[in-house]
């Protein structure tokens, strides 16, 4: 069973087609990079995956559960880090996590155990009582990842999670998420428009103007960073609206 299956998904904002016949799957325990220029449709796809938007065409399955027919079961398997932060800057790290745990219906004792575990894993235990305002962008993203993992999802979605971070923080966050993927068998879908966030072992999906124009192992689509950059430039230049 695939961790994620997207089948013939299309979406339009009125007359503007944002996604067209998008079709792919992601295997359990893999790190899949969804690469595309700004405006390619990545955030629209994330909004459909999380049911912020209703499906207009096609279906999405998370660990076998259809978002159309079994939305509760499907969403229970998801953890999400959106491009725009939804943390409360005036609450502490721990208060933000407690609030999210309560929304998921976690009992107080179980929630505290999970919060302690995730803060330790994200290397934030000593900052649990600090307000979010006091943290830099990279640490705030780690809080969002901790929050996304509190209910132990099997699929983690990150929509341009490195946006606004400096290069060192972007690299550290990317490596951190990959380490989580390896350690826990977590499936990750990482969306980005930056080639340096893609590694040769990734399952790569290239989205442009609402269409999936390539998919497969990154090493096959480009033998090295320069070749992958050339492939990306060619594919995103040649697809017509």
Could you report the per-residue pLDDT of 73-124, keeping only the tens digit for each? Answer: 999 999 999 888 889 999 999 999 999 999 888 899 999 999 999 999 888 9
Instruction: Give pLDDT, residue 50.
Output: 94
For residue 48, what are the CA distances in angstroms to 10, 128, 169? Answer: 10, 32, 28
Say if CB 16 and CB 30 are below 8 A apart.
no
Residue boundaries of the structural domains of the chain? 4-77+153-238, 87-151
pLDDT at position 222 over 80 = no
pLDDT at 241: 43
- The shares of helix, strand and coil residues in the chain, as percent rounded to the nearest 5, are 40, 25, 35
Residue 230 confidence (pLDDT) above 70: yes
Parallel, antiparallel or unpaired: strands 78-81 and 16-26: unpaired
Mean pLDDT along residues 143-167: 90
Strands of the sheet with 57-62, listed across from one edge:
16-26, 4-13, 57-62, 65-66
Q: Look at the block and give the residue holding tokens 């990734």.
A: 202
Predicted confidence (pLDDT) at residue 239 exceeds the cutoff of 70: no
Write the DSSP symbol of residue 186. Answer: -
Backbone angles phi, psi at 61, to 5 degrees: -120, 135
Instruction: Give the helix/strand (H/E) hosting 218.
Output: helix 218-221
CB-based burial of residue 14 (10 Å sphere; 0-12 exposed, 13-18 middle, 19+ buried)? exposed
Residue 150 to residue 131: CA distance in whole angstroms:
19
In tens, the pLDDT along 2-14 reads 999 999 999 999 9
Q: What is the pLDDT of residues 157-210, one digit of tens each?
A: 999 888 888 888 888 889 888 988 888 889 999 999 888 899 988 999 999 999
Spatial contact of 58 and 49, defined as CB atoms under 8 Å apart: no
**pLDDT confidence bin for 238, thresholds 50/70/90:** low
Which residues make Cβ contacts (< 8 Å) with residue 98, sequence separation at least 6? 111, 115
Q: Which fold has domain 4-77+153-238?
A: Rossmann fold (3.40.50)
Q: Is 130 helix (H, G, I), strand (E, B) or coil?
A: coil
Q: State the pLDDT at residue 128.
A: 94
Model confidence pLDDT, tens digit, residues 17-27: 999 999 999 99
């Amino acid at each position: 069973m695939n961790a994620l299956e997207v089948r013939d998904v299309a979406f339009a904002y009125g007359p503007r087609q944002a996604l067209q016949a998008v079709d792919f799957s992601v295997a359990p325990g893999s790190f899949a990079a969804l690469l595309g220029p700004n405006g390619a449709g990545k955030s629209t796809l994330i909004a459909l995956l999380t049911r912020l938007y209703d499906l207009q065409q096609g279906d999405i399955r998370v660990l076998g559960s259809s978002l159309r027919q079994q939305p509760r079961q499907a969403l229970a398997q998801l953890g999400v880090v959106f491009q725009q932060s939804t943390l409360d800057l005036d609450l502490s790290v721990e208060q933000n996590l407690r609030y999210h745990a309560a929304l998921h219906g976690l009992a107080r004792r179980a929630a505290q155990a999970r919060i302690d575990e995730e803060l330790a894993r994200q290397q934030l235990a000593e900052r649990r009582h600090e307000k979010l305002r006091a943290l830099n962008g990279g640490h705030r993203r780690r809080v969002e990842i901790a929050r996304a993992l509190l209910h132990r999802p099997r699929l983690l979605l990150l929509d341009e999670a490195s946006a606004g971070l400096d290069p060192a923080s972007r690299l550290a966050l990317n490596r951190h998420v990959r380490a989580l993927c390896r350690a826990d068998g977590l499936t990750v879908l990482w969306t980005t428009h930056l080639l340096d966030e893609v590694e040769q072992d990734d399952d790569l999906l290239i989205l442009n103007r609402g269409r999936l124009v390539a998919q497969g192992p990154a090493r096959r689509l480009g033998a090295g960073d320069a070749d992958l950059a050339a492939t990306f430039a060619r594919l995103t230049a040649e697809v017509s609206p």
